[in-house]
């Protein structure tokens, strides 16, 4: 149970971080949507605010009035229970509400939330909903970063901006971690009092075989060898869907890579930079991760192997886990489909739509990335995207 | 021949008007591109500036340096001779250069143009090119207005802004104008010393039959009768392409019309307003204009009939032409395809691409609209769009 | 007025010719539809039969019963007044009715038509409708040939079949024909008692300037020079729509041309053959015809110039017209949009939909081709297709 | 090890069955391809023959000459190692080779295979390849049936034909089968000497929880209750991708269902028939199966639960398995993604492409259907399709 004061502080800190991410944006950067997957930054700022207004303030704060009656329509995402959604593809056509209007919306809601959190007697259910809201906003913080990168990285001027993350850092020398054949517990332990998403619940047993996960992520240097060997031109390495994707889109390198006079550069928040050979490869699809693994004669881990290895590492030395496996810089593609754990139940109501309905045709990623907000990940966390997506900070860890 | 001083004044006046049109925009309104036909306002402001920089200053003003080396790529439109064009559909994805950057670009170019125009000894060719630039910018002024309307008129908040035009005004009682069977001269007379576009040149004879053009444009009230009679549901009134367009897009009324509780409203720069029965119908496609005419048992005029009638009217009473025929509030769809006049020649160089290459699958519109800059039209002016386009201020005049 | 006996004979001869065209087809060739523009041969055979059943027998032949109640749905084309049309794109998915079933349908309708024509007392209106039906079937005969060519010419086996036409013949030396500036009568003369389509009616005056049409069509040899000069790679020659078409479809030569080891071959009904340098170029779009003309520094004629020249030629020597101008081997692209003549009126009823509703975004072709049935063309005949279409026997005549 | 004589007999029996399936087709039915998923029957007949020619005769039968040099191009499917594949969507445009030509190809190859099988000394590898070929042809036999059904079931004449299967039979009363929590062996046992596909290999342990599978498949009557309750109109039952699929395609019932005057009919090989309430529901997508299960408050089994239950049932009474669980009439959608078993290895060469490269975005189906050839399934068999596919004989078994 979180103390009330702490909760308010936590709320304000999380909310402030969303705005810190956008600190160096021009007004225009908040508005555009170059592809359907990418939302305009002002939409993220509005949508997260709408969550607080809709699920906390309107039903629970007496006398609260919505900031603007049409914002519910504009900033709803895919919660079909709350109202007719805006088609995601249309978000980038909306010049209004303005950025200033969105910040005013945030200030208004924050003021009311602050008052509400410091005065209300919160039921356990409401606590849980607020915790969900904080984690929801943190998820959008990572998307804010990746969406801003996409917007600027596809502008012919390739502008640099300040962003409070370190994108490309060489790894420490890691040590492989082995798991032994046997039964493992997978999923979030409900005895832990801390937060998790619904898709992590349903702790259950799985049977795993002997496996060793590499202690380091695949580096840009490793991946360049794949490119130079003609990896993108040889169908043998690729899943059928992956090969079709490579050809339909003319894929020849990770996202944001540009070849200039024979040298590879990549767009970063510092502008166009030479590709750092020592840093972990980033912005690859699962198709690319899988093809790279096949080319190397190995495979991607399953999400279960990944979690068991993480627990194994923690059992040896809790403090050293992140360091040992170099976790946390890239979301790591697994070869597991995103499916329900045994006993998974969709919660009632709009919030219940949270995760279950996406359990089709998506792939699980584990770990965290340089863009993940502090404290937002854990060994049981299940991130998921379609296998062709690569605008997140995605990378590759192999089974040895 | 325009006096030098006058030309500078004219330049500054035209340039200032582009900015006046945008006076009440929010920064965000400059950025978005909801459909391919509509360009972001900041693109129009940059593109017209690029014209002056590329065709006047860089080749003619000694010591002039381009404001920014990448702007040529960003603000080029379809001039294939000058460089690789930006796909029109991509313009709305570009948050940079910023609006402030575009205005700085304008100021920089205006300062150099001002200096150039007041000091250079302009050759006749250069004069002609500057006149073309002024008319080019005026064309974009009309597009600025219609594109801003599209951007705001498709925002769920339907915002009102100040715009220096009167969109919907009732017409004066007009008088039909008849032309008698015989030979007519069509096209711009090269003995006139004033400006025209290349597509108006090649004055030539056409043979016309007795025809009478209505003295008034079709009104919203007239058009409502068509809607109410089931005009959009009966294929008999429609061209085959038009009927396919109606069905593929679910068309049921002119653009910007919304039915609320049985009453028709339309979006205007003053926000959502009841449809004014007396004002000329606006924002209709040529398919709709043609279907309406068939439903009424008549037809649209050809561009030749239109021009002959305009000259006829002027012969009777020059001053009264606009009033008599109520010209100037709507671009009037004709039933003429946009094709070259006899002897039409494409000019050499990039500017030569101006008009000729669009002479396929487009329809001529004659007259002018409430959004047309003052002095930018004339009886020989040939505007053209594909027959399904209706975000311009387009209307209907029938043959009686 | 056609004598009754003659009409029956004429009917049977036209009907037989449709089947002669298909004499060498395999059953499978009747079924497929590789692109939307191309209809399966069995559909043409059924659709033309449906015309006779629907417009002649059912309303006029007492006691006639439809051959099959569902055939009206299957073989209707775009006559919206008669029933819900089959989407053209779906025709190639229909394995039933079988080819044998379609021939049985033809035999059944022919038997009843034969009886009807020899016994009924035909009103002038019915005569006119029968004449229309004969001309309608002849139009489909040309489409049968071009559609069969498309089906076989896009099969990797490139099969040869017997087809009663000579596709590629060298031209005789033609003589240019000049018309003098002045007024010309255009359109079908209603004093002539013979058949014409509704779009030819409305004989009217046009004013033309001095023009000379080439006496020969552009040859494959001429066109090869355009290809070799990089004509398909230089945007300057092309209409904007044409250039987009070239690039979107990777166009590099006329349809059916294949380059093998540096030599150009083209698919013909005799299989793959070397391109005949002396024969008129064939299977080009209007975009290609227009680009070729620009590259040559000239232009395509208008449909009015074409018709005036044809009449001019006939005035000199009626018998020599075809020979002098080498007319009849290729449909000749004009630069005229397909639009109504003055006074054009759409007829009432389903047959009235015949031509008028296609008067948008299509271009007129004049003359006739090697695939045109004997007696099916005349100087006033207006054929029309969208400018990107080239599976017809289309060619190029320049203005000199 | 199969005796040589038996192998020849087996070959001839399997080959004959492919032709038996097509016994009642018209030539035209062999040709069309209404959607990309459906291949023309003549393609299946040619492609299976191409397998024998390419993988057995050409490399192993001395002096064998290919029947036709271009058939490899025409009848290849997706084996990228053998040659450039024909786009699947293009198969339905090919009128040649004719059906008679394909049967001649079959006869030619069968004659040579017969000779080869009865005279050659087959190595174990060649035996294995022949067994694979037989199973490959059996897979296409099921596709032949489902593709023929699609072709005829989407023809407006809805023709009936003879097909040697019983599509819709009421089920026997089944008994639920329970599995107890614990470790289960999954996958084909390599100690068994019989055939399996590569995707079944890698027998391994999985940990399962207590589960009970229904003894009967969901019936049409059950499913009608879902339809009548508004199941297709309520997003809460659906996966996000499924809901998008329902709306984009206007889905309101299983494939082949038509509502006529308030009653539900479905297309069968006997023509249009009233839906049989007692028969198991058929032709549903996994989206529909999943939505139905949620509506019923339960879920689909995983492929591991299914296989464990099948083994469990067999342990009790081998003979009664099929009867008890009513297996074999519908492929049963699971909630398992199609992914590699531990230790899965792609074989070398073209045949190695067989299964591994499809392990992305597909769902496993277990069991068999009325269209599955005799002896072609087993408890470890893993069928797989994308979750939106429903032209196979797919059905639903729930977890109780």
Both D130 and D181 in one domain: the answer is no
Confidence at B312, pLDDT banded by 50, 70, 90? confident
**Taking residues C184-197, what's their average pLDDT?**
89
Task: Name which residue leads in pLDDT, B5 or C397.
Answer: C397
Q: Does the pLDDT at position B30 exceed 90?
A: yes
Q: Does the pLDDT at position C50 exceed 60?
A: yes
Computed over every residue of chain A, the mean pLDDT equals 91
Q: Does the pLDDT at position A238 exceed 90?
A: yes
Both D262 and D399 in one domain: the answer is yes
**Taking residues D76-83, what's their average pLDDT?**
58
Computed over every residue of chain B, the mean pLDDT equals 91
φ, ψ (nearest 5 deg) of residue B6: -60, -40
**Taking residues B294-298, what's their average pLDDT?**
96
Both B144 and B238 in one domain: the answer is no
Q: Is the CB of D55 inside 8 Å of chain A's CB atoms?
A: no
Q: Does the pLDDT at position C124 exceed 50?
A: yes
Q: Under an 8 A CB cutoff, do D358 and A209 touch?
A: no
Window from A101-115, B80-94, D282-296 with minimum mean pLDDT = B80-94
Task: Return the pLDDT at D81.
Answer: 52
Interface A:B, ≥3 CB–CB pairs < 8 Å: yes
Tell me which chain C residues have a C-beta less than 8 angstroms from the C-beta of D73: 156
Q: Does the pLDDT at position A171 exceed 80?
A: yes
Q: Give the residue from chain C lying closest to D70, CA to CA.
A: C157
Tell me which chain C residues have a C-beta less than 8 angstroms from the C-beta of B333: none
Task: Return the pLDDT at A78.
Answer: 56
User: What residue has token string 């081997």?
Assistant: C329
CA dihedral B18, B21, B24, B30 (to 10 degrees): -60
A57, A30 Cβ separation under 8 angstroms: no
Q: Which of B153, B183, B216 delimits the end of a domain?
A: B153
Q: Under an 8 A CB cutoff, do B340 and C239 touch?
A: no
- The neighbours of chain B, by the rule of 3 or more Cβ pairs under 8 Å, are A, C
Window from A3-7, A349-353, D46-50, D309-313 with minimum mean pLDDT = A349-353
Q: Under an 8 A CB cutoff, do A93 and B29 touch?
A: no
Both A20 and A95 in one domain: the answer is yes
Task: Return the pLDDT at A89.
Answer: 46
Computed over every residue of chain D, the mean pLDDT equals 91
Q: Does the pLDDT at position A23 exceed 70?
A: yes
Q: Under an 8 A CB cutoff, do D97 and C33 touch?
A: no
Distance CA B211, CA B227 (A): 27
Q: Is the CB of D95 inside 8 Å of chain A's CB atoms?
A: no
Confidence at C60, pLDDT banded by 50, 70, 90? very high
**Taking residues B94-108, what's their average pLDDT?**
97
CA distance D124 to chain C (A): 37
- Distance of alpha carbon D256 from the chain centroid: 18
Task: Return the pLDDT at C88.
Answer: 46
Confidence at B192, pLDDT banded by 50, 70, 90? confident
Give residues with Cβ within 8 angstroms of B218, minimum separation 6. B280, B281, B292, B395, B396, B397, B398
Which residue of A183, A335, A359 is in closest CB contact with D339?
A: A335
CA distance B155 to chain C (A): 31
Which residue of C207, C290, C335 is in closest CB contact with B206?
A: C207
What CATH number did the domain enclosing D242 receive?
3.90.1580
Q: Which of D153, D188, D207 delimits the end of a domain?
A: D153
- The neighbours of chain D, by the rule of 3 or more Cβ pairs under 8 Å, are A, C
Q: Is the CB of D159 inside 8 Å of chain C's CB atoms?
A: yes
Q: Under an 8 A CB cutoff, do A360 and D207 touch?
A: no
Q: Does the pLDDT at position A194 exceed 60?
A: yes
Asked if residue B318 is part of any domain, the answer here is: yes
φ, ψ (nearest 5 deg) of residue A87: -60, 130
With both helix axes pointing from N to C terminus, report the angle between C4-21 and C41-51 in degrees, rounded to the nearest 10. Answer: 160
Best B43, B96, B147, B271 member to test A by mutation, with max A CBs in 10 Å, is B96
For the segment B137-159, what is each residue's pLDDT rounded down to a tens digit? 999 999 999 999 999 999 989 99
Which residue of D183, D336, D358 is in closest CB contact with A207?
A: D183
Q: Is the CB of C233 inside 8 Å of chain D's CB atoms?
A: no
Tell me which chain C residues have a C-beta less than 8 angstroms from the C-beta of B239: 357-360
Task: Return the pLDDT at A87.
Answer: 47
Distance CA B164, CA B269 (A): 10
Q: Give the residue from chain C lying closest to B302, CA to CA.
A: C342
Q: Give the residue from chain C lying closest to B349, CA to CA.
A: C236
A306, A213 Cβ separation under 8 angstroms: yes
Confidence at D88, pLDDT banded by 50, 70, 90? very low
Distance CA C245, CA B294 (A): 33
Task: Return the pLDDT at B77.
Answer: 65
Task: Return the pLDDT at D85.
Answer: 46
* Residues β-bridged to residue A183: A207
Which residue of D335, D336, D361 is in closest CB contact with A361?
A: D361
For residue A184, give the 3-state DSSP assignment: strand
For the segment D116-161, what is each residue's pLDDT rounded down to a tens digit? 999 989 999 999 999 999 999 999 999 999 999 999 999 988 999 9
Q: Does the pLDDT at position D87 exceed 50?
A: no
Asked if residue A158 is part of any domain, the answer here is: no
Asked if residue D159 is part of any domain, the answer here is: no
Both D221 and D138 in one domain: the answer is no
For the segment A264-273, what is each residue's pLDDT rounded down to a tens digit? 999 999 999 9
Asked if residue C158 is part of any domain, the answer here is: no
**Is the complex ipTM more than 0.85?**
yes
C397, C176 Cβ separation under 8 angstroms: no
Q: Is the CB of D347 inside 8 Å of chain A's CB atoms?
A: no
For chain A, give the percent of residues with pLDDT over 70. Answer: 91
Both D184 and D321 in one domain: the answer is yes
**Taking residues A21-39, what's their average pLDDT?**
96
Q: Does the pLDDT at position D347 exceed 80?
A: no
Confidence at C347, pLDDT banded by 50, 70, 90? low
Asked if residue C69 is part of any domain, the answer here is: yes
Interface A:C, ≥3 CB–CB pairs < 8 Å: no
Best D26, D28, D103 member to test C by mutation, with max C CBs in 10 Å, is D28
For the segment C200-212, what is each residue's pLDDT rounded down to a tens digit? 999 999 999 999 9
Q: Under an 8 A CB cutoff, do B32 and A151 touch?
A: no
Q: Give the residue from chain B lying closest to C184, CA to CA.
A: B207
Both C80 and C128 in one domain: the answer is yes
A391, A212 Cβ separation under 8 angstroms: no
Tell me which chain B residues have a C-beta less than 8 angstroms from the C-beta of A24: none
Confidence at B86, pLDDT banded by 50, 70, 90? very low
Asked if residue B160 is part of any domain, the answer here is: no
Distance CA B333, CA B339 (A): 15
Asked if residue C186 is part of any domain, the answer here is: yes
Q: Under an 8 A CB cutoff, do A95 and B156 touch?
A: no
For residue A168, what are the CA distances in angstroms to A189, B243, C210? 33, 56, 73
Interface C:B, ≥3 CB–CB pairs < 8 Å: yes
**Owning domain of residue C262:** 165-400
**Taking residues B219-235, what's their average pLDDT?**
97
Confidence at C1, pLDDT banded by 50, 70, 90? very low
Q: Does the pLDDT at position A349 exceed 70?
A: no
Task: Return the pLDDT at D350.
Answer: 59
Which residue of D27, D29, D97 is in closest CB contact with C157?
A: D97
**Taking residues A286-304, what's their average pLDDT?**
97
Look at chain D and report how many structural domains it folds into.
Answer: 2
Q: Under an 8 A CB cutoff, do C357 and B206 touch?
A: no
Q: Under an 8 A CB cutoff, do D204 and A209 touch?
A: yes
* Residues β-bridged to residue A111: none
Q: Is the CB of A119 inside 8 Å of chain D's CB atoms?
A: no
Task: Return the pLDDT at B85.
Answer: 46
Q: Is the CB of B79 inside 8 Å of chain C's CB atoms?
A: no
Q: Give the residue from chain C lying closest to B211, CA to CA.
A: C342
Confidence at A344, pLDDT banded by 50, 70, 90? confident
Cis ω before A160 (30° cut-off from 0): no
Distance CA B133, CA B122 (A): 14
- The helix (run of H) or strand (run of E) holding residue D142 is helix D124-153
Both B76 and B201 in one domain: the answer is no
For the segment A65-111, what is each residue's pLDDT rounded down to a tens digit? 999 988 888 888 655 555 554 444 478 889 999 999 999 999 999 99
Q: Is the CB of C183 inside 8 Å of chain B's CB atoms?
A: yes
**Taking residues A223-246, what's their average pLDDT?**
96
Q: Under an 8 A CB cutoff, do D335 and A336 touch?
A: no
Best C26, C27, C28 member to test D by mutation, with max D CBs in 10 Å, is C28
Task: Return the pLDDT at A290.
Answer: 98
Q: Is the CB of A247 inside 8 Å of chain D's CB atoms?
A: no
Both B259 and B362 in one domain: the answer is yes
Q: Which of D153, D184, D210 delimits the end of a domain?
A: D153
Both A54 and A180 in one domain: the answer is no
| Neighbour-count burial for C346-384, b at 16+ CB within 10 Å, e otherwise | beeebbbbbbbbbbbbbbbbbbbbbbbbeebbebbbbbb
Q: Under an 8 A CB cutoff, do B32 and A73 touch?
A: no
Distance CA A57, CA A11 (A): 14
Distance CA B152, CA D330 (A): 54
For the segment C127-141, what is each residue's pLDDT rounded down to a tens digit? 999 999 999 999 999
Task: Return the pLDDT at D6.
Answer: 86
CA distance D384 to chain C (A): 26
- The neighbours of chain C, by the rule of 3 or more Cβ pairs under 8 Å, are B, D
Task: Return the pLDDT at D129.
Answer: 94
CA distance B240 to chain C (A): 5
Both D172 and D296 in one domain: the answer is yes
Which residue of D93, D156, D159 is in closest CB contact with C154?
A: D93
For chain B, give the percent of residues with pLDDT over 90. Answer: 79
Both C44 and C107 in one domain: the answer is yes
Q: Under an 8 A CB cutoff, do D299 and A80 touch?
A: no
Which residue of C34, C95, C151 is in closest CB contact with D28?
A: C95
Task: Return the pLDDT at A86.
Answer: 46
Asked if residue A93 is part of any domain, the answer here is: yes
Task: Return the pLDDT at B364.
Answer: 98
Best A248, A353, A361 member to test D by mutation, with max D CBs in 10 Å, is A361
């Amino acid at each position: 149970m979180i103390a009330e004061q702490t909760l308010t502080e936590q709320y304000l800190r999380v909310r402030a971080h969303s705005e810190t991410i956008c600190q160096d944006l021009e007004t225009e950067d908040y508005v555009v949507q170059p592809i359907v997957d990418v939302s305009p930054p002002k939409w993220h700022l509005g949508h997260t605010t709408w969550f607080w207004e809709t699920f906390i303030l309107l039903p629970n704060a007496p006398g609260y009035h919505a900031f603007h009656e049409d914002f519910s329509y504009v900033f709803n995402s895919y919660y079909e229970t709350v109202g007719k959604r805006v088609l995601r593809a249309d978000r980038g056509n909306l010049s209004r509400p303005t950025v200033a209007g969105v910040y005013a919306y945030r200030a208004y809601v924050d003021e009311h939330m602050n008052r509400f959190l410091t005065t209300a007697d919160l039921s356990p259910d409401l606590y849980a909903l607020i915790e969900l809201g904080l984690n929801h906003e943190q998820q959008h913080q990572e998307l804010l970063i990746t969406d801003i990168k996409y917007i600027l990285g596809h502008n012919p001027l390739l502008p640099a901006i300040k962003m409070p993350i370190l994108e490309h850092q060489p790894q420490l020398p890691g040590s492989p971690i082995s798991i032994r054949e046997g039964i493992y517990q997978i999923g979030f332990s409900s005895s832990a009092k801390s937060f998790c998403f619904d898709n992590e619940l349903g702790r259950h047993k799985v049977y795993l075989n002997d496996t060793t996960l590499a202690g380091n992520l695949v580096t840009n240097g490793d991946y360049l060898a794949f490119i130079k060997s003609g990896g993108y031109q040889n169908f043998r390495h690729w899943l059928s869907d992956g090969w079709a994707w490579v050809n339909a889109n003319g894929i020849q390198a990770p996202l944001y890579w540009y070849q200039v006079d024979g040298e590879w550069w990549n767009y970063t928040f510092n502008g166009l930079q030479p590709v750092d050979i020592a840093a972990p490869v980033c912005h690859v699809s699962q198709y690319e991760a899988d093809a790279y693994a096949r080319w190397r004669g190995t495979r991607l881990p399953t999400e279960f192997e990944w979690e068991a290895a993480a627990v194994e590492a923690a059992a040896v030395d809790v403090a050293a886990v992140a360091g040992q496996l170099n976790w946390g810089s890239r979301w790591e593609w697994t070869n597991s489909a995103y499916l329900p754990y045994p006993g998974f139940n969709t919660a009632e109501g709009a919030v219940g739509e949270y995760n279950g309905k996406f359990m089709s045709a998506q792939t699980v990623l584990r770990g965290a990335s340089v863009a993940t907000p502090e404290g937002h990940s854990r060994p049981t966390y299940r991130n998921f995207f379609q296998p062709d997506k690569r605008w997140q900070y995605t990378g590759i860890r192999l089974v040895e």
